[in-house]
Amino acid sequence: MAIDRNAGLPQQLLFPPERTSHWEDNLPEQLGQFQPGAVEIFTQQWQLTCRDLQRLQTQLQEAGFSIALVRAGNPQTVISAQALGLQVKPIGSQQSSNPEETTNEGIDQLRVHRGTLRSGDQLDTAGDLLILGDVNPGARVSAGGDVMIWGRLRGIAHAGQFGDKSARVVALQLRPLQLRIADQVARGPEDQPQAGLAEEARIERGEIVIEPADPRLSRRFLEGDPPAAPGRPLA
Amino acid sequence: MAPTSRTILICSGKGGVGKTTLTANLGIALARLGLRTVVLDADFGLRNLDLLLGLENRIVFTAQEVLAESCRLEQALVKHKQEPNLALLPAGNPRMLEWLKPEDMKTIAGMLEEQFDYVLIDCPAGIEDGFKNAVAAAKEAIVITTPEVSAVRDADRVIGLLNTHGVKPVQLVLNRVRPKMMANQEMLAVDDVTDILALPLLGLVLEDEQVIVSTNRGEPLTLNGSKSPAARAYGNVARRLQGEEVALIDPSKEGRGLRAKVRRLMQKKIF
């Protein structure tokens, strides 16, 4: 990392290019040469999660710095920073300064996460989310579109977090603590799941319902026919 | 460096589930297998590994002096009275927390790895600075938990953090198992815990009053070849760490309970 110390401008914390070294490694050394106060952060193309950014924020705060602006080249980092309420400016191809545009960038994309999300983990994406692994109690996943989990959902899932009421949550075992679709919230079911049957949650007549994720049923549903059997409404 | 030296962090997230007891007993058990073992107390705020080992009154120097280079490592290491293969590196004073950096822990662990086959680090509870320091030095980890919802949740969080720190492998010890309560479904079953944490089970330790007695006496259970269930379990953990295949105890056979089959059929999820 290098420092830019132009008089009058905020201090700029530069992340190293990806793969040469990890940004956390040279952070303390770089901060040592700074005056406490506001800093701008150039995250280059690094993909940072909310957790990464939070950690960075705490580290900076402990050292007497505050984050004035995050300049990010990676759409995921932009979203993470926005989720934390930080000032963000996307850098990269179109140098756009309109946050609306960057939020939309990822919306049609599918984000795939491999591995189990454990208590305290958070995953947030603008588009659809596919998780190959479990979501444990205490973990939280949210997506602008559908949340699909090839594993067990026992934490909290939020599909259609920007208001998409057609978003769905699908999991091999759907036993979340809490389920959110668009602006609806429901507690998870408490009965034992049927073995070997994937389940799906969606909004039907203003309520979140859960039912077996039957692919034929889904297709009919998508084509506009009402499903043969209405799902069980949840509390 | 001892060619096979292993640095193992013993952590749990939640307090009071048995980190320090496991560290002390595992240390003794490994030493009894003839392995040069050192236990390092990384709980600078609330140190009590020395108490459990009965070495409190023998401490002259601590990790703090070693780091400040005001004494040599050999001077700070406290050799166990009855088990010469085991040494303790005591934690410094609680104020040390303010200046201790993850690099310092790495330095200490590096020094210990040169002399010992096993370096066991007793991690403080929580996931704050103390944990971050301890985890920096660790190469592998043992997560200890009890069959309680809160302990399992905290363990899960810690496992996630261990993964992000690249600590591998992480193994699980399930402590304070009460077979009777498990059979009556008043307690999380072993399967419930391993289901969530998805870690290989390194040991099952039954609830055992002898542990409290030994703790108060400053003589770990494994020390005098006790036949108590917990002592056996700790010994088995040591042997499994050494790569030996030792079958896990079956809690359903330890107590007078329903058959495991029935249990699984009727299992009520607490999560």
A88-90 sheet: strands from edge to edge: A3-4, A11-14, A37-42, A65-72, A88-90
**DSSP 8-state symbol, B200:** -
pLDDT score for A29:
75
Answer whether A119 sits within 8 Å of B153, measured CB to CB.
Answer: yes
B110, containing H or E segment? helix B102-113
Class of the domain covering A107-233: mainly beta
The predicted model gives A210-224 an average pLDDT of 60
Residue that the structure tokens 């050494």 belong to: B242
Mean pLDDT along residues A5-31: 69
Number of folded domains in chain B? 1
Span B45-88, pLDDT tens digits: 888 999 999 998 889 899 989 998 999 999 999 999 899 999 99
- Tokens at B29, concatenated: 């058990």
Residue A107: predicted pLDDT: 58
Q: Which residues of A touch B267 (CB under 8 A)?
A: 192
| B156·A119 Cβ contact <8 A | yes
In a domain, B80, yes or no: yes
Q: What pLDDT digit, counting tens, does each position of A126-172 carry?
A: 999 999 999 999 999 999 999 999 999 999 999 999 999 999 999 99
Average pLDDT, chain A: 78
**DSSP code, position B76:** H
Burial of A54 (0-12, 13-18, 19+ CB in 10 A): middle
* Per-residue pLDDT, A100: 37
Is B55 within 8 Å of B80 (Cβ atoms)? yes
- Sign of the CA dihedral with A17 first, then A22, A23, and A29 last: negative
Q: Cβ of A119 and B198 within 8 Å?
A: no
Q: Give pLDDT tens digits for A7-19.
A: 456 678 888 766 5
Cis, bond preceding B169 (omega within 30 deg of 0): yes
- Interface check A151 vs B, CB under 8 A: no
Domain with CATH 2.160.20.70 in chain A: 107-233
Mutate to test the interface with B, among A22, A24, A62, A119 (most CBs of B within 10 A): A119
pLDDT band at A179; cut points 50, 70, 90: very high
Partner-chain contact A154 B196, CB within 8 Å: yes
Is B271 within a domain? no
Residue type, B214: S
Best-predicted range by mean pLDDT (B141-150, B222-231, B251-260): B141-150
Residue A103 has pLDDT above 50, yes or no: no
What pLDDT, on a 0 to 100 scale, did the predictor assign at position A221? Answer: 46
In the prediction, which pLDDT does B76 show? 94
Q: Is residue B1 included in any domain, yes or no?
A: no
- Using a CB-CB cut-off of 8 Å, the residues of chain A touching B161 are 120
pLDDT for B9-35, tens place per residue? 999 999 999 999 999 999 999 999 999
Q: Which residue of B has its CA nearest to A52?
A: B164
CB contact (8 A) between residue B269 and residue A192: yes
In which residue are the tokens 């069980």 written? Answer: A232
Q: Confidence class of residue A214 from pLDDT cuts 50, 70 and 90?
A: low
Q: What is the pLDDT of residue A20?
A: 64
Hey, what are B160's tokens?
A: 């996630």
Residue B121 belongs to a domain? yes
Instruction: Examine the pLDDT at B1 and tell me if it is beyond 90.
Output: no
Average pLDDT over residues A85-94: 67
Question: pLDDT per residue over B86-125, tens digit each?
Answer: 999 998 887 777 788 899 999 999 999 999 999 999 999 9
Residue B19, C-beta contacts closer than 8 angstroms, at least 6 positions apart: B10, B11, B12, B122, B123, B125, B144
CA distance A62 to A64: 5
pLDDT at B156: 96
Per-residue pLDDT averaged across A112-130, rounded?
92
When pLDDT is cut at 50, 70 and 90, the band that residue A97 belongs to is: very low
Closest to B152 measured CA to CA, from A141, A178, A187, A154: A154
Q: What is the pLDDT of residue B233?
A: 94
Residue B82 belongs to domain with CATH number: 3.40.50.300
* Percent of chain A predicted with pLDDT > 70: 77
| pLDDT tens-digit map of B141-198 | 999 999 999 999 999 999 999 999 999 899 999 999 999 899 888 899 999 999 999 9
**Closest A-chain CA to B13:** A119
Between the two ends of chain A, the Cα-to-Cα distance in Å is: 52
By Cβ distance, the residue of B154, B163, B271 closest to A154 is B271
Query: By the CB < 8 Å criterion, does A26 face chain B?
Result: no
pLDDT of residue A93 exceeding 50: no
The predicted complex's ipTM stands at 0.72
CA distances, A210 to each of A1, A127, A192, A228, A232 (Å)? 50, 22, 13, 14, 6
Domain that holds residue B61: 6-266
- Is residue B58 situated within a structural domain? yes
Q: Determine, yes or no, domain membership for B195.
A: yes
